[in-house]
Amino acid sequence: MAFTARLPESVEADAKAYAEFVGVSMNALLAIALRDYLDARMPDGPGVRRAPRPPASVEAPSPAQKPAFKAPASRSDPCPCGAVDLNGHALKWKHCHGKP
């Protein structure tokens, strides 16, 4: 199911800046926000499956803190930066820093 979010310009600008600060795409940021909103509305009954939550505080590393790393041998190997998707799985090099 496709979904197009239309945000007021001021909200969109703030969301883009925050997504860039955190290091996620706008789609990921909206997915996290929607999941948090829906989680707050759902009853905590049996059978309610919850996705793992990202860390509460995410700080952008300064350029001096960013580790230098080499490309892995295969494009399908995990990215050495340690990036994970919303489910906590390691991102592959080809979907992270190995994008052309």
Structure confidence by residue, pLDDT tens digits, 12-36 = 888 888 888 888 888 888 888 887 7
Q: What is the mean pLDDT of residues 61-75?
A: 66
Would the pLDDT of 91 be above 80?
Answer: yes
Place of tokens 């925050």: 18
Q: What is the largest CA-CA distance in the chain?
A: 47
Q: What's the pLDDT score for residue 2?
A: 67
57 and 35 Cβ atoms separated by less than 8 Å: no
Alpha carbon distances (Å) from 54 to 61, 86, 91: 17, 7, 15
Instruction: For residue 96, give the nearest of 74, 75, 68 by alpha carbon.
Output: 75
